[in-house]
Structure 1
Amino acid sequence: MKSFNDSLTGKYLRIALPAALEGIFMTFLAAADLIMVGVLGAKAIAAVSIFLPLRLVLLTVSRSLASAVTILTANKFGSGQYSTIKVLLRQSFTVNSILLVVLHLLFYGFFEKLVVLMGAQRDYLELALAYGNIAVAAVLLNSLSLLLQGTLLGVGRTSAIMKSNIVGNVVNIVCNYFLITGFGSFAGWGVRGAAISTIIGSLCTLGITVWIMKHEGFFSDGLLQLPDKVFWREFMPVFGGVFSELGAERIGMLAYGWMTARLGTLPYAVHSICYNICDFSYDFIFGFGKANMVLAGQMRGAADYATWKRCRSIGFKWGLGLSVASFIILYAARVPIFSVYSQDAQALAISETVMFWVAAVCIPQGHTIITAGILRGSGQTTAVAVYSFVLITVLRPLMTAFFIYYCKLGIVGAWVPMFLDQSLRSLCFTWKVMRIRGLKDLIK
């Protein structure tokens, strides 16, 4: 385990860049499905896209569990409590993997009702069920990988996470090529092929993650251990704060997705493509947000406010630079980027205006990601949850309804409130971060 004596910017980038590249490759997983399924038409795109908000609901639980593990691991790493990291890994994986299996089984049992509730149109409902009933297994595999990778992230081993996710994504894309449209005499399985490919890729990611962690000695004392009172006392407050934040975000996003799904099959397909394009910027910068969360957590554990403050400044600078770069790239190359997903003339016409807002969202979004990461690592998960509830769960759906139904802006009305929401969160999170002015505020 490395000390804090090396260059802080170098340490920051060694954590951030692999995490950012990993985020890009994870976005490729969703993009590969949309791009390759795109040859089957707008109905197939809508069928795959309607599953994505539901997938994120499931991942809300696993990401909350993994984030809690990451924050606690970073605190222990920063304070030099290395032996307790393995104990935390074993106990968290034991209880959380059982919870995730039960949750995914329940989700599978009610999947059709959930898809209808999300606003799936009759013309692609059957395709949505064909894809989602299989893809839910891939989400479980992803969730188990996230649990294990939460420990790796906490000690700054983002390169190991990147390697496992890159291989999984490459396998997924290769399988997509053969299973969606077929090859030779094999006709292909359409959206079912895309779902099966995702399972295969996710299984590879999980297998490689386990292999890396076993090779590095994380499982030297086993993988399973029943949690004790110390675990619950440490874990539940952190998990509660993170889950409240992500849960509030998911509720707001479900309401948001429900309204956008009712814009019609073609507009919803265009919206889904634009959302996936926006995800590339989000997931790349999110890697830098993870670095800020990990380093803030480590500095909090080490009770080192001076270094925490330097990490904050580094994060602000990188977040701003990447946000502006994302805006320039997405707006300047909006037509060729969208054309990768769809060559449909109507879809391209609709996307012209929307892509401006996709690019504009990137500017406040980047700073929101950085500041949220700092707050989580600094033990301010409750504050992030409160702001997320007010702005995402309550305000964004209201703004979306206003711009779509009252202002009659259609698909553009789905992106204006996203820009406003990200801008407001950026301001609120920045204000909260700047209120941490000393060691007492950091460790309280």
Structure 2
Amino acid sequence: MQRIYLAQEDIGGIWRYGAEPGDPVTGTKVVSTTEDNGEIGQDVKGITIYYGRGGGGYLLAASQGTNTFHAYTRDDNRPLGAFEIVDGNGVDAVTGMDGIDVTNFGVGGPFPQGFLVTQDTKDDVGNQNFKLVPWQAIAAAYPQPLLVDPTYDAYQTGAPPAPGSAPVPPPPATTSTPPAPAGPAPSPPPSAPAPAGPVTRLTAPGSTTVTRLRFPVSWTSSGSTLAIARTEVQRRVATWRGGFGAWSTWATSHGGGSTTVTNAGGAARTYCFRARSTDAVGGVGAWTAEQCRTTPVDDRTARAGQGWRRAKVTGTYLGTETVTARQGARLTLTGGHGTAYSLVATTCRSCGAVTVSLGARVVRRISLTSARTLERRVLPIASYGRVHTQAVRVTVVSSGKPVEVDGIAVGR
């Protein structure tokens, strides 16, 4: 499987190219950002490959805009869902990551079956740093556990055996679910073995913030021996100031294969989806892990201090922005209940910079400068392992440079 993958920032994604001398020079985009109805929140900040025998394994991508990591099958780049590295055991969550790598080799200690390493832009009590997570903890967190293959050596594939030695069959790949050691762990909890029945996968929306009120929800369903009779997709919704409502049936499809339905929602909400299928004799599969998308709170909901003005701007989220060039100008949103906060703003070559406070604490300084003008840019502020209720305050720290705020996302 001779391939090269390239990650493109801004409204980019992941491109795949053939690696053989005679392959075409044009690539294929296999992963898109949310601006192109994909699942990656700007930017793609690192890609890596987990290798498995027989072409197995995964393409992994860091989604900086959503503080999540996405897994795709190595053969056909099919999305398998996303995970977060949350706080726990005295270690803070990973946010704003800028680079990842993975190895399937066991290195001893808490990493007998390999590990994922990621840069972490901000530590709650110190400087930016790197976080390591055991691969077996990540693999076990998926409803259908990922491959764990610590003995496969991708760099020795095809190497001849030693003279006079008998061929040694490769050991089988295994999937294990040992207790996770101390340190950060993926947010989806390890699930029990799936009961007999059809298998359902949510392939969209992924877990991210989206600046469009309409977005696709996609799923696939298949049975090992029996035909699929129906697939039920449930949805639950939380407002930015409240908790989730109950799960309720949102869509139903009949037969197997792939289905896509558009979710037409409102602003300032988090929409979560899960699905399961029933086969022709009544066998019911397991629910998928939920996938959630958050639509931001509009800028007009925030209280604007002196120096700001409201503007109607075509192409922005809900058609408005709150703008200023005054240093020290403040914009405040109160009453939110969330686990993840992001700023939605326009970035440009001459744009300024802001700090963002949650409660009384400044948690991030954000530059709004970019090589070209980008509207509806989702810029992560902070994420937590539990719900936080606190005011969000945006303070302009630049002087004489435009700051154009489009919204604030309060995700669950």
Question: What TM-score results when the alignment is normalised by the length of structure 2?
Answer: 0.27
Pick the structure with greater CA Rg.
Answer: 2
Question: What TM-score results when the alignment is normalised by the length of structure 1?
Answer: 0.26
Structure number having the greater helix percentage: 1
Q: Which has the higher contact order (CA 8 A, sep 6+)?
A: 1
